[in-house]
Amino acid sequence: MTISIPRGTKDILPGEVEKWQLIEKKARELCERYQYQEIRTPVFEQTDLFARSVGDTTDIVQKEMYTFTDRGGRSLTLRPEGTAAVVRSYVEQKMYGFPNQPVKLYYMGPRFRYERPQAGRYRQFVQFGVEALGSADPAIDAEVIALAMNLYWELGLRKLKLVINSLGDTESRNAHREALINHFRPRIGEFCSDCQTRLEKNPMRILDCKKDREHELMKTAPSILDYLNEDSRKYFEKVQQYLKDLDIPFEVDSNLVRGLDYYNHTAFEIMSDAEGFGAITTLCGGGRYNGLVEELGGPETPGIGFALSFERFIAALEAENISLNVKQEIDCYIVAVGEKARDYSVKLLHKLRMAGFSAERDYLNRKIKGQFKAADRCHAKYAAILGDNELEANKINLKKMDTGEQEEISLDEFIDYFKSIME
């Protein structure tokens, strides 16, 4: 019996993986431009970290975590997201004392959520994200959003919709919380059992419920924007002003609450507007989390960031019919015929590679025609053709594959010659 891949995961094969590499490369390049530095944290963390940061009334913590007990009896969880671990590390490594402030970090790697698999929703998916810690300047909110938009734009996406909201500061959120409780309490019996527990613990989560989405009370629920105090309103206005200054189009949606508990002030999502993208349109989500560092034992420190998944990024590219320009060619393919020539080609191939070229030879004992076909399949720029007779005469033929031009070169000088024409 064959063993199949776990549900909700996928293999990324050559041909497809180059797209991932290209997005990775572009993301790193942008982070360099925006001055974010890479951080790598473990794939698993203590379970409490996520309960305390993502929030124990969220779907992620309640239903979706891959949690296990290790042989030492510790409860560990495969990371469902990246922010909690970055903040854990920020506190543990005392990054608030680093000379360069704010601390601007980025990360890439797999996340794990036990979700119902469907198009765009996996149980293992790869996120790229950034976190800026230590600044409460609304200009950083705009910078973080600009970085995400720029990554999509530079890889060709056009059909994007940026949606922003403000969840306000603690005072505003408390006022909104009261209003939500008053709104839902009289008819809470009509809601799912999760929402019933959310009512007192975290009523905002009700707005994020997948089951009760269509309930009429959802549509008339009090909007957070009506409960923002002066400071929160001013902050939100400033973020909007900066986005306008940067020519980044956006919509304000007071229903945007995000699925994680640590947010306050700015929250945002970037969606794909492309036809045929499918039901799940959110490509990227993020926001401000000013209380999280303190919650995890550090000093009072503001923070903001976002994360996006490669899986949905690639799906959005496909929905917009954008094929990434992935280079798949090699410099030289050695076509060797005859036993001595084949033996010699092992050495020649090594020399080419040592000189910095991408090179390949036949390993299947193909006839000359088959070797040329293989050279074509590799998109070789040149074929170096060697037979036993040429070897004896210290010669090799070099064929330029696109024009068919061929020339004979002294074998001893081959590498130097090849270097000179490839310069």
Q: Is 222 in the site for ligand HAM (CB under 6 A)?
A: no
Q: Judged by CB, which is closer to ligand HAM: 287, or 387?
A: 287
Q: Judged by CB, which is closer to ligand HAM: 135, or 371?
A: 135
Q: Strand order in 75-78's β-sheet?
A: 44-46, 75-78, 66-69
Extract the tokens encoding 360: 């390949």
Query: What span, in angstroms and rounded, lies between the C-alpha atoms of 60 and 74?
Result: 20
**Burial category of 104 from C-beta neighbours within 10 Å (exposed 0-12, middle 13-18, buried 19 and up):** buried
Interacting span for ligand HAM (CB under 6 A) from 125-133, 314-322, 349-357, 411-419: 125-133
Q: Strand order in 160-166's β-sheet?
A: 37-38, 103-112, 124-133, 303-309, 282-288, 264-272, 160-166, 251-252
Closest CA to 236 of 206, 264, 202: 264
Binding mask 273-292 for ligand HAM (x = CB under 6 A): ---------xxxxxx-----
The answer to whether residues 383 and 401 touch, using CB atoms and an 8 Å cutoff, is yes
Q: Give min distance, CB of 210 to ligand HAM, in A.
A: 13
Query: What span, in angstroms and rounded, lies between the C-alpha atoms of 175 and 43?
Result: 38
Q: Judged by CB, which is closer to ligand HAM: 307, or 341?
A: 307
DSSP string, 337-367: ESHHHHHHHHHHHHHHHHTT--EEE-SS---
Interacting span for ligand HAM (CB under 6 A) from 36-44, 235-243, 307-315, 336-344: 307-315
Query: What span, in angstroms and rounded, lies between the C-alpha atoms of 129 and 124?
Result: 16
Please report where in the chains the tokens 């990024």 appear, as a residue.
313
Q: Judged by CB, which is closer to ligand HAM: 289, or 382?
A: 289
CA angle in degrees (0–180, nearest 5) for 303-90-134 = 35
Q: Which residue is nearest to ligand HAM (CB)?
A: 305
Number of alpha carbons in the 13 Å side-chain half-sphere of residue 295: 21
Q: Restricting to residues 104-123, which ones interact with ligand HAM according to CB under 6 A?
A: 113, 115, 120-122
User: Helix 17-34 to helix 310-319 angle, to the nearest 10 degrees?
Assistant: 110
Extract the tokens encoding 413: 């000088």
Q: Is 400 in the site for ligand HAM (CB under 6 A)?
A: no
Q: Is 82 in the site for ligand HAM (CB under 6 A)?
A: yes
Out of 140, 307, 334, 383, the residue judged to bind ligand HAM by CB under 6 A: 307
Q: Give min distance, CB of 340 to ligand HAM, in A.
A: 54
The answer to whether residues 343 and 361 touch, using CB atoms and an 8 Å cutoff, is no
Q: Give min distance, CB of 228 to ligand HAM, in A.
A: 20
Q: Judged by CB, which is closer to ligand HAM: 222, or 259?
A: 259
**Burial category of 340 from C-beta neighbours within 10 Å (exposed 0-12, middle 13-18, buried 19 and up):** middle
Extract the tokens encoding 237: 């206005």
Q: Give min distance, CB of 21 to ligand HAM, in A.
A: 19
Q: Judged by CB, which is closer to ligand HAM: 102, or 387?
A: 102
DSSP string, 75-101: EEEE-S-SHHHHHHHHHHTTGGGSSSS
Q: Give min distance, CB of 345 to ligand HAM, in A.
A: 45
Binding mask 334-373 for ligand HAM (x = CB under 6 A): ----------------------------------------
Q: Give min distance, CB of 164 to ligand HAM, in A.
A: 13
Please report where in the chains the tokens 């024409």 appear, as a residue.
421
Q: Restricting to residues 233-272, which ones interact with ligand HAM according to CB under 6 A?
A: 259-260
Q: Judged by CB, which is closer to ligand HAM: 125, or 344?
A: 125
Q: Give min distance, CB of 173 to ligand HAM, in A.
A: 17
Q: Amino acid identity of 285?
A: G
Q: Judged by CB, which is closer to ligand HAM: 312, or 381?
A: 312
Q: Which helix (H) or strand (E) holds 45?
A: strand 44-46
Q: Is 312 in the site for ligand HAM (CB under 6 A)?
A: yes
Q: Is 102 in the site for ligand HAM (CB under 6 A)?
A: no
Q: Judged by CB, which is closer to ligand HAM: 283, or 398?
A: 283
Q: Judged by CB, which is closer to ligand HAM: 115, or 212?
A: 115
Interface positions with ligand HAM (CB under 6 A): 81-83, 113, 115, 120-122, 125, 127, 129, 131, 259-260, 282-287, 305-309, 311-312
